[in-house]
Amino acid sequence: MIDREMLVERLTHENEEFRRLREEHQGYEQELADLNGRQFLTADQQWRRSELKKLKLIAKDRMEALLRQASKSAEATA
């Protein structure tokens, strides 16, 4: 079994799509944290919070797919 953290680090260094998705995910997370820190949200801010949650999930799902693919490749060559 391949160590997940090592695989994440490898993909971050070697895979442009994974690196981009990881950066986007972190950006969405930061923006979401900023919105969640506010006591009151406007309608636009509530919509943006909902949209950020969806975007964050999409990015995470794609990163997981890339991790699964890399894990299978690594196990096949081991």
pTM of the shown model: 0.86
Kindly state the average pLDDT of the residues 17-45.
97
Identify whether 78 is part of a domain: no
At 76 the pLDDT is 81
* Domain range for 41: 4-72
Identify whether 28 is part of a domain: yes
Identify whether 56 is part of a domain: yes
At 75 the pLDDT is 80
Q: How far apart are CA 10 and CA 14, in angstroms?
A: 6
Identify whether 77 is part of a domain: no
Kindly state the average pLDDT of the residues 48-77.
94
Question: What would the two tokens of residue 32 be?
Answer: 């979401």
Max Cα separation, the chain? 53
Domain count for the chain: 1
Tell me the three state secondary structure of residue 32: helix
Identify whether 59 is part of a domain: yes
Residue 1 confidence (pLDDT) above 70: no
